[in-house]
Amino acid sequence: MAFLESCDTFVVLPPLTKMGVVFGKNSDRPNGEVQEVVYYPSSDDNGPVMCTYIEVEGAPSKAIILSKPGWMWGAEMGANECGVAIGNEAIWTIDNDGDHDPSIKRLLGMDLVRLGLERGSTALEALDVITSLLEKYGQGGPCSNTDSGFCYHNSFLIADPSTAWILETSGKHWVAEEIKSGYRNISNVLTITTKFDKHSDGLFEYAKSKGLWNGEGDFDFANIFGADKGCSSRLEAGKKLLEKFTGSNNFKETDMFCILRDTESEICRPADSSCATQGAQVSTLTNDKPSAHWFTATPDPSKSVFKPFVFTPNVSISKHTKCPEDEKTSPHTLYSLHSAAMKSKGNEVQDLLLNMEATCVRELDDVLSNTGSDLSELDELLKDCVETEVKFYR
């Protein structure tokens, strides 16, 4: 099982934010892997679903938007029409035999992200979807199409406009903690110790049977199952950034942009890194107005622009963030043009893009604050932003 530091996921809740719940995630993936942003409408199809490696039973699916490696079925992060956002992290455990062997092809953590978004109308429902499928099918399989040894277990941050859940796993076993206020972040290390609100059936008995816990004292999930104590530096750096940016008690999507762009902590990693930040997502999840979801669809948030998406009945997104159907490992148009522009134009491009982003933030906030039930003017919001960026590069 490869040990590789990658990814960070964040959430900020009232009273530290006045705009609902703010979710953010950087997706750090192997160098050269392309991440696409794709939209899937809702469906009543109950037929079997073929995930990356295995098939699971079908269920009606909600409309979703995903940021995902082009080659796999699952997603690193995304959101659904109900205002649920989910991101996952690679974590390392000591229990890796038999049903818990992460090298065996089962459900990827990224498959579980997508399944949770397709089937969960709240954070709690999505949590229940993920844990029930995890217990039935297990998790595992290569998480890279070029490195068969890149295998791991997963943790998840699941948020909606009212609450957030942290889900951490070891094989088919898991614990979950509800976050009702303040802030929280996860990285590549187990963080749930003795305080959790839900857990898998038979967890305590299983730990005793494996000789991992003697049954005395508090049950500490992270200490019992955690394998690597050396992946905590970015977790601590993320906490400090959250503390810094929530000091005003008015945390906004632009503050999350700043956190995801932090290069000193390596929360943001350059495109030429062995494990680069291939995409980023920020979501503002609200009950009193439509939720807004922002995606880069390009590597390195510090050199990318966040572009907004809002679910509407007739939404449409650009073809330029989708990898070619006949070659899902090839870059999409926006990825190629952005990469070329960063090499040739550098800071000149970045300044113009950031001005475009700032204008978009102001205009969208105004629209969402004054919109009624008719969201038709937002049908092509992400499409227009992407195609403006494409025209700019060309």
> pLDDT, tens digit, for every residue of 285-299?
999 999 999 999 999
Does residue 344 lie in a domain region? no
Q: Is residue 328 part of a domain?
A: no
Q: Which domain holds residue 122?
A: 8-313
- Specify the pLDDT at position 169: 98
| 335 in any annotated domain | no
Residue pair 197/178 in contact (Cβ under 8 Å)? The answer is: yes
Number of domains in the chain: 1
What number is the average pLDDT over the span 355-371? 92
Residue 386, in any domain of the structure: no
Summarised one tens digit per residue, pLDDT across range 61-120 is: 999 999 999 999 999 999 999 999 999 999 999 999 999 999 999 999 999 999 999 999
Q: Calculate mean pLDDT across residues 233-237.
A: 93
pLDDT of 2 strictly over 70: no
In the chain, % of residues over pLDDT 70: 97
Mean residue pLDDT of the chain comes to: 95
pLDDT the model gives residue 343: 86
pLDDT for the residue numbered 346 = 67
- The neighbouring-strand residues paired with 225 are none
How confident is the model at residue 230, as a pLDDT?
A: 62
Confidence at 150, pLDDT banded by 50, 70, 90 = very high
- Output the pLDDT for position 235: 94
Q: How far apart are CA 302 and CA 259, in angstroms?
A: 10
DSSP 305-352: --EEE---TT----GGGS--TT-TTSPPHHHHHHHHHHHHTTHHHHHH
Evaluate whether residue 160 is within a structural domain: yes
pLDDT band at residue 185 under the 50/70/90 scheme: very high
- The answer to whether residue 212 sits within a structural domain is yes
Residue 268 known to be catalytic: no
Over 70: is that where the pLDDT of 5 sits? no
Give a yes or no: residue 385 inside a domain.
no
103 within some domain: yes
Residues 227, 93: contact at Cβ < 8 Å?
A: yes
| 381 against 231, higher pLDDT | 381
Of residues 7, 82, 151, 323, which has the active-site annotation? Answer: 7
Residue 351 has pLDDT above 90, yes or no: no
The residue ranges of DSSP E strands in the chain, in sequence order, are 8-12, 21-30, 35-40, 49-50, 55-56, 64-69, 77-80, 85-91, 153-159, 164-170, 173-179, 183-186, 198-199, 275-285, 292-295, 307-309
Instruction: Write the CATH number for 20.
Output: 3.60.60.10
HEC sequence for 227-250:
CCCCCCHHHHHHHHHHHHHCCCCC
Q: Determine the pLDDT at residue 1.
A: 46
Residue range 246-305, pLDDT digits in tens: 999 999 999 999 999 999 999 999 999 999 999 999 999 999 999 999 999 999 999 999
pLDDT of residue 12: 98
